[in-house]
């Protein structure tokens, strides 16, 4: 059985959590997991874990990420499908954190995994995002790569939000995390 068939058979919600780099997608997903028992799949974390594994694929991905570029869609969808397949029997749903980042990825995701039930778009000012990422300090958060990622979000991910606007719920991510969480929960219910 494919991941797509398994998710459909289990009738599990698949929720895309989108927002620029530093909008708090991971923080919100962690809280949502505790409340709803959803599986949180962060493409960033899946990719970083692959890089940190030191595998040939991880080394290849590091070279791409270090430059602030997007990893090929097939690679990311494959990592997501594997992670979802591993959790389909125990999860009450899936939170897909930061993916799809482009219309091409959205199409690939729908072909391989299925359509989202809902899309949450976390919204925050670019200056707020820069400050948050500087504080966070991940290996892929250099000043140059942060600017590239904000630009990529604007150029590539905004069209995804527009395409799925019928199921998108926008949430102001500049508030305190607990206030943002309350708004995200309302959007899901």
Task: Give me the tens of pLDDT residue by residue for the chain, a chain 189 residues long.
Answer: 888 999 988 999 999 999 998 999 989 999 999 999 999 998 888 998 999 999 998 999 999 988 878 788 999 999 999 899 999 999 999 999 989 989 999 999 999 999 999 999 999 999 999 888 888 877 777 888 888 889 989 999 999 999 999 999 999 999 999 999 999 999 998
Q: CA geometry: angle at 23 spanning 77 and 71, to 5°?
A: 25
3-183 maps to CATH 3.40.50.300: yes
Comparing C-alpha atoms, which of 70, 56, 126 is closest to residue 100? 70
| pLDDT value of residue 133 | 86
CA distance 19 to 100: 10
| pLDDT value of residue 93 | 96
Write the CA distances from 80 to 132, 145, 154, 181, integer angstroms: 26, 23, 23, 24
In this prediction the pTM is 0.87
| pLDDT value of residue 142 | 83
What are the domain boundaries of the chain?
A: 3-183
| pLDDT value of residue 45 | 86
CA distance 144 to 122: 22
| pLDDT value of residue 14 | 97
- Cβ atoms of 181 and 189 within 8 Å: the answer is no
Name every residue whose Cβ is closer than 8 Å to that of residue 2 and which is 6 or more positions away in sequence.
none
Sheet arrangement for strand 14-19? 39-42, 94-97, 14-19, 118-123, 168-172
| pLDDT value of residue 69 | 83
């Amino acid at each position: 059985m494919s991941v797509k068939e398994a998710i459909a058979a289990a009738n599990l919600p698949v929720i895309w959590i989108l927002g620029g780099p530093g909008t708090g997608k991971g923080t919100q997903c962690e809280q949502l997991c505790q409340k709803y028992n959803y599986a949180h799949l962060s493409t960033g974390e899946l990719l970083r874990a692959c890089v940190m594994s030191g595998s040939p694929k991880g080394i290849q991905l590091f070279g791409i990420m270090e430059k602030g570029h997007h990893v090929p869609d097939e690679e990311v969808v494959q990592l997501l499908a594997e992670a979802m397949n591993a959790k389909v029997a125990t999860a009450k749903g899936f939170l897909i954190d930061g993916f799809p980042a482009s219309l091409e990825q959205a199409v690939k995701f729908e072909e391989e995994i299925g359509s989202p039930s809902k899309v949450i778009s976390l919204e925050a000012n670019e200056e707020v995002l820069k400050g948050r990422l500087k504080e966070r300090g991940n290996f892929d958060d250099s000043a140059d790569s942060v600017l590239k990622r904000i630009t990529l979000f604007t150029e590539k991910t905004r069209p995804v939000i527009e395409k799925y606007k019928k199921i998108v719920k926008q949430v102001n991510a500049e508030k305190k995390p607990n206030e943002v969480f309350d708004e995200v929960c309302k959007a899901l219910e």
